[in-house]
Structure 1
Amino acid sequence: MPQCENFYFKDTNFGELKNIIKSHNAPNAIIVLSGGEPLLHQKNADFKDFLRFLIEQNRQVHFESNGTIEPDFKALPELKNCYFALSVKLENSGESKEKRINARALKSIFANSKGAFYKFVLSGADDEIREIKEILAIQNAAVWLMPLGASKNELEITAAKVAGLAIKHGFNYSDRIHIRLWDNKEGV
């Protein structure tokens, strides 16, 4: 299994990003592009150059996206070599359905990327499963459920309920290990 390494970048140019990757001697590392919505930057020249560099270096690239922005697979064909973890927002986010669900973007990602799956952070309420099934009706795929909680105490309240829902509905369960290990510490 490849080593996993995350890089967060903001206001960084292509040269700096390239140097970060070269300075880490981890050729099998998975590069995860996250931090808000990374596809907002798909027209940015530094972003394009960085993605091309990663693909040319045979790096495995994963996007963490909310699935609301359709990737431009024609203008940036390197996106076809990437994986997507899609955290489509549910009603509990407070966003309108029109802002949080883009059927065209979801279908495009699944049709054109190297691979994609859904991951949802849940409180454990049954209506969240109804919403997930509505999203799966748009585009079916593997689902990972994670418990809601910004602290160990909050996580403890929801973990068992969410694991139960995963078992009941045949979904995968993933704990939020960074919270279990570091509680509500930022930057981990």
Structure 2
Amino acid sequence: MLVGEGVFPIVMDAKGNAIAEVPATGWNLSGTVQGEGKLAGTPSLFIRLATCNLRCIWQMDDGSFCRCDTAYASFHPDDKKAWTVEEIVKVVKHNIGAMQHVVITGGEPLLQKKGVLALCKSIKEELNLHITIETNGTIFDQELTQFVDLFSISPKLSNSVPSAQKLKFYNEAETGSSRFHHEVRRNLNALQSYIDTAQDLQLKFVVAKQSDADEITKDYLKVLQRYNKNDIMLMPLGATQHEITKSNPIVLQMCLQNGWKYTPRIHIDIFGSKQGV
């Protein structure tokens, strides 16, 4: 079940016919760049899956709230559509061009792990592309690790819990009680399984407050084992350039103080808060 553009940005359909609409990038070209993490700047096609089990809302250092920057895929995935694995692979094949990377994102892709497994297997066997999966790390699937080159895992800090106050601000209903308990949202067993079996990974923490450093260390890094410190990355909170500008000084200082890596958010730098880029 894909959402929004499904596979994007693209200029050809599953039959290899040109699409009339120009991609959201504004260019009559397929592809964009990976905006975050180790592969930031890498030309890629994206596949966006619908629904999420967490639906995050953060509070910034100044007290303001910031909702997930892909809320259309997590909070209200109304524009969702069922795609077959064959259809997705054909669209990727006709649009991949000189690119070598595909990013499967969400929402939370592992909620559809059987379909994602079949998709990754087909992409590897038919197109032999590099596959990144972006996940919150609450769900693990052993079989999937053999087909995924990079797991981009974003463990959620307690600041991301969608409290009643935050939901009221966005006129959202309180549904799915597990979303509101940080200990349920922090699946250390799943994270450790990724560390032990993934071909490559990054642990990418979204940061907004000075206190986040203590939580990252105490609740994650002192508990998890055998991870590579070079895989620990911090990303400034923000769905807009203005919000990221507010978060950036906190994140940069935290990286310097702890020896963690900083990751940019290239899509917002280039396109702003725009879907399908």
- TM-score with structure 2 length normalisation? 0.60
- The structure 2 residue matched to 1:62, chosen from 112, 121, 132, is 132
Tell me the residue number matched to 1:113.
198
Q: CA deviation at 1:25?
A: 4.0
- The structure 2 residue matched to 1:179, chosen from 268, 272, 275, is 268
Q: CA deviation at 1:119?
A: 0.6
What whole-Å deviation, never above 9, does each CA across 1:53-82 have from its counterpart, x for those lacking one? 1122322111111110121x2xx3x52241
Q: CA deviation at 1:109?
A: 1.1
Counterpart of 1:3, as a letter, is: P
What whole-Å deviation, never above 9, does each CA across 1:132-182 have from its counterpart, x for those lacking one? 112112323421111111212111111122111111110111121222222
Q: Does 1:6 align with 2:73?
A: no
* Cα distance in 1, alignment partners of residues 201 and 117 from structure 2: 20
Find the residue that maps to 1:43 and give its secondary structure.
helix
Q: Does 1:129 align with 2:210?
A: no
Counterpart of 1:106, as a letter, is: L
Tell me the residue number matched to 2:259.
170
Tell me the residue number matched to 1:88.
155
RMSD: 2.0
Tell which structure's C-alpha radius of gyration is larger: 2
- The structure 2 residue matched to 1:21, chosen from 92, 95, 109, is 92
Tell me the residue number matched to 1:143.
232
Find the residue that maps to 1:54 and give its secondary structure.
helix
* Cα distance in 2, alignment partners of residues 58 and 27 from structure 1: 13
* Cα distance in 1, alignment partners of residues 210 and 157 from structure 2: 12
Counterpart of 1:169, as a letter, is: N
Q: Does 1:39 align with 2:39?
A: no
Within a 5 Å distance, the mapping from 1:146-161 to structure 2 comes to 146-161=235-250
| Number of corresponding residues | 181
Change (3 A) 1:184 1:86: same
Counterpart of 2:190, as a letter, is: A
Q: CA deviation at 1:28?
A: 4.6
Is 60-69 or 173-182 further displaced after alignment?
173-182
Work out which structure has the larger RCO, using CA pairs closer than 8 Å and 6 or more positions apart in sequence. 2
Change (3 A) 1:27 1:40: farther
Greater helix share, structure number: 1
- TM-score with structure 1 length normalisation? 0.86
* Cα distance in 2, alignment partners of residues 97 and 60 from structure 1: 33
